[in-house]
């Protein structure tokens, strides 16, 4: 019997993590492309995933055997507050369209060939990996964050609706597993950064915002302003590291329980140290000041990667995270090279 070619559909395929996955699957191995895989990356311009019928047509065209679900309606703090109902409804619609169509089209983990392949075609077991966010955790969790705390209390009011929409992905995954046996799961990254990020100062997260502000200060000969005291700690993950781990999870992680993807919790970086690292990466030699009138936000929210390490160890694998300064330098170089040409800047 001929081998059935695995076809992996990536929603949100041109965003930060989607771009990183494109980079990851340029290489092979347990964290890269598997022999014969065909990857299809789609963006909102290819399909409005809020539209169930349009999503059905996408699945009908691509006929995926696997799905990496990254697409979401996202925005900064003020966008979330101003459009709470829209963020809730749009993300629920996106997630439902992707997961239900994945079930309807019997997206499945395909074994190599022969009798094993024939048996899999009768099982109709689906494989989808969705990407969640640490915002789904309760406002007052126990640290370090762990996978078992997702539903242990209400999320922060600042992104209450978006967080609940994301939590529902885990609920849906478990429901499809219980009722149909579908292999749907999810991963939860910590603070992601890397080439192709959103550097718009009205919506950017901390690292891309620092890069953009430092670039402007260097260009204009002004002082680099760092918001807040600089004391809060953050656990960053390089988008290309995250991408390699998502590819591994797609191929190897079959449990329904979500999996936190992050460096060790003791790799936290203070906002001030992150800002100083940006200055080094940009060769900025001007002055910096701290605007302590701006809120610091949450002091720290470390997450445990113990489960990830244990799952990798079962396969005799270890994962080497890119050193922070090296990853930051690659991100800064991309930002500078694309400053005048990329729509995300």
Q: Please list the active-site residues.
A: 162
- ω into residue 305 within 30 of 0, thus cis? no
Find the helix or strand (DSSP H, E) in which 11 lies: strand 7-11
Task: Tell me how far apart the alpha carbons of residues 76 and 63 are, in angstroms, rounded to a whole number.
Answer: 34
Task: Tell me how far apart the alpha carbons of residues 102 and 95 are, in angstroms, rounded to a whole number.
Answer: 10
Task: Tell me how far apart the alpha carbons of residues 118 and 211 are, in angstroms, rounded to a whole number.
Answer: 52
Is residue 147 within 8 Å of 190, Cβ to Cβ? no
- Based on the number of CB atoms within 10 Å of its own CB, is 273 exposed (0-12), middle (13-18) or buried (19 or more)? middle
Tell me if residue 236 falls in helix, strand or coil: strand
Task: Tell me how far apart the alpha carbons of residues 35 and 28 are, in angstroms, rounded to a whole number.
Answer: 8
Is residue 261 within 8 Å of 250, Cβ to Cβ? no
Q: Please report, for residues 178, 212, 267, 335, the alpha-carbon distance to residue 278 in angstroms, rounded to integers and kept in the order given.
A: 47, 10, 17, 12
Strand partners, 290: 226
Is residue 244 within 8 Å of 32, Cβ to Cβ? yes
Measured in whole angstroms, the distance separating CA 138 from the mean position of its chain's CA atoms is: 19
Task: Tell me how far apart the alpha carbons of residues 266 and 261 are, in angstroms, rounded to a whole number.
Answer: 14
Measure CA of the first residue to CA of the last residue in the chain; give whole Å. 50
């Amino acid at each position: 019997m001929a081998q059935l070619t695995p076809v992996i559909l990536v929603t949100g395929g041109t965003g930060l993590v989607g771009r990183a996955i494109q980079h990851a699957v340029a290489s092979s191995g347990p964290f890269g492309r598997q022999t014969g895989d065909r990857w299809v990356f789609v963006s909102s311009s290819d399909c409005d995933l809020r539209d169930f019928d349009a999503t059905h047509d996408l699945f009908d065209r691509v006929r995926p055997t696997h799905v990496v679900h990254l697409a979401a309606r996202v925005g900064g703090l003020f966008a979330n507050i101003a459009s709470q109902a829209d963020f809730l409804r749009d993300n629920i619609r996106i997630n439902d369209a992707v997961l239900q169509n994945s079930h309807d089209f019997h997206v499945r983990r395909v074994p190599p060939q022969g009798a094993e392949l024939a048996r899999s075609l009768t099982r109709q077991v689906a494989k989808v990996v969705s990407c969640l966010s640490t915002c789904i955790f309760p406002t007052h969790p126990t640290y370090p964050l762990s996978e078992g705390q997702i539903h242990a209390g209400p999320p922060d009011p600042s992104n209450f609706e978006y967080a609940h929409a994301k939590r529902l992905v885990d609920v849906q995954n478990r429901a499809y597993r219980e009722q149909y046996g579908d292999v749907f799961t999810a991963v939860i990254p910590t603070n992601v950064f890397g080439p192709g990020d959103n550097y718009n100062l009205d919506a950017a997260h901390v690292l891309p915002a620092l890069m953009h502000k430092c670039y402007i200060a260097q260009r204009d000969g002004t002082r680099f302003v760092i918001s807040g005291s600089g004391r809060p700690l953050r656990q960053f993950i390089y988008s290309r590291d995250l991408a390699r781990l998502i590819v591994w999870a797609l191929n190897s992680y079959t449990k329904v329980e979500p999996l936190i993807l992050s460096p060790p919790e003791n790799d936290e970086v203070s906002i001030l140290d992150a800002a100083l690292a940006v200055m080094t990466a940009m060769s900025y030699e001007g002055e910096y000041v701290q605007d302590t009138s701006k809120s610091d936000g949450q002091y720290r929210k470390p997450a445990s990667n113990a489960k990830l390490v244990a799952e990798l160890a079962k396969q005799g694998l270890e994962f080497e995270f890119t050193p922070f300064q090296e990853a930051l330098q690659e991100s800064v170089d991309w930002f500078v090279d694309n400053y005048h040409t990329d729509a995300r800047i």
